[in-house]
Amino acid sequence: MFGIISYGTYIPKNRISLDDIASAWGKDPGEIQKGLRVREKAVADIDEDTVTLAIEASIDALAGYAGTAGDIEAILIGSESHPYAVNPTSSIVGEFLGVGNKYFASDLEFACKAGTAAATLIAGLVQAKAVKLGLAIGADTAQSRPHDALEYTSGAGAVALLIGDEKVAVELVANTSITSDTPDFWRRDGIAYPSHAGRFSGEPAYFSHVVGATEKILQMTNRKPADIDYCVFHMPNGKFPREVSKRLGFTKEQLGPSLTVDHIGNPYSASSLLGLAAVLDAALPGQTICMTSYGSGAGSDAFIWRTTEHIVEVQKNRKKRGTTIADQIKNKAYIDYVSYLRSTHKI
C-alpha cells in the first residue's frame, strides 16, 4: 500500500467579493455570480507568492507527520505562477523546510493540473521504491488581466501531499491520464497574463478531458459512480464541476463537500487538490474518492483514493491546529478592489 501519509493546505486570508469586481467595471454583480456560481475568491497578499503558499502548506503537512522534513527524498511543485523562470521553486521550499540536500527536486507546469502531475510522479517514485517519502505540491497565485473574465474566479492557494508507503492515510488505488493538443488557454513567455479561447474552453477542452479521464479510471477499476463515496473535479468556476458531475452520473451529495470554488475561486494548480483535502477532512475510514483534475493545453489526471484507519489521526491533528479547509475558508478578511490590484499586480 502507498499513498498520502499526511496533507497540508494554505488558503490566503484576504478575500474579494465578486460584487466589488463587477461594480468596478460597471457589470451586474447578480448576473456574474449567477453565471459563475462563485461569491468571492481568495487573494494572495502583497508579500505572498507561490513559494510562500507552498511553504505554508508543506509546514501544515509536516505538522501531521511523525517524522521530520529530513525524511523527504523528493519535492515536486506544480504551478503556473512560479516566481522565477530560471531558479526552481522546489529548491527554495526544500531549503526553508530544512530537508537538507539529499533529495530530488523539480518544478512542473501544466496549467491547472500541474499539482496532480506532481502527485502522479511522486506516487510513481514511491511505488517503484526509488524514494520512501516524497512531497507533491500544487500552488498558485493565479494571474488574470484586469477586466478579463478570468478576474472573477482566479484565486490563490496551495496543497502539499506527503506521499509514502508507511502509515498510509489515503491509499492510491489507481490513477490514469489523458492528454491532447487543445490550446484553450495559454500564456507566452514574458507575457504577464494568460489568454483564453472563451467558450471553446468548455466542451472540447474541460468536459471532453474530465469526462474521458473519469470514465477511463472507473473502467480500469471496474467501478461505477454508485460505488464511489465522493467525487472531486477541477473547479475553474462553480458551474463546470457541477455539470460534469451530473453528466457522469454522480449525485450532489457525492460532489458537494469538494466545492471549495464557491468560497475561494479557482487557485489553478491547487484547485482539485483543495477539493480533495476538503473531502479528506470529513471522510470516514474505508471511503472511496474519485478525483479528476484538468489542465488547459490540455489534459486530465484521474485518481481513485481510499481512506484507511489512519485518516482519523490526520483529521484530529488538522482540527487541533485549526487548519482544516473549513477553518481556512472562515478565516478571512475582505479587501476592496484597489487593495486587490495592489496585491495581485504589485502596483
Q: Which residues are catalytic?
A: 80, 112, 234
- Give the phi and the psi of residue 256 in degrees, each rounded to 5: -45, -50
Query: Which cell numbers in the block locate residue 134?
Result: 516524497
Residue 7's SS3 state is strand
Q: How far apart are CA 347 and CA 337, in angstroms?
A: 12
Instruction: Give the C-alpha distances (Å, rounded to integers) separating 212 from 65, 113, 234, 299.
Output: 35, 15, 14, 10
The neighbouring-strand residues paired with 307 are 170
Query: Which residue shows C-alpha cell 499586480?
Result: 345
Residue 53's SS3 state is helix
Q: How many DSSP H helices and E strands does the chain contain?
A: 13, 14
Q: Which stretches does DSSP call E strand in the chain?
A: 3-10, 14-17, 40-43, 74-78, 104-108, 133-141, 156-164, 170-179, 185-186, 195-196, 230-233, 288-292, 299-307, 333-334
Bond from prior residue into 282 cis (ω within 30 degrees of 0): no
Residue 137 contacts by C-beta under 8 Å, 6 or more apart in sequence?
A: 54, 57, 58, 75, 76, 77, 78, 93, 115, 118, 158, 159, 160, 161
The three-state DSSP-derived secondary structure of 117-133 is HHHHHHHHHHHCCCCCE
Query: Which residue shows C-alpha cell 506521499?
Result: 163
The three-state DSSP-derived secondary structure of 195-245 is EECHHHHHHHHHHHHHHHHHHHHHHHCCCCHHHCCEEEECCCCCHHHHHHH
Q: Let me know: does 63 contact 317? Beta carbons within 8 Å.
A: yes
The neighbouring-strand residues paired with 170 are 4, 307
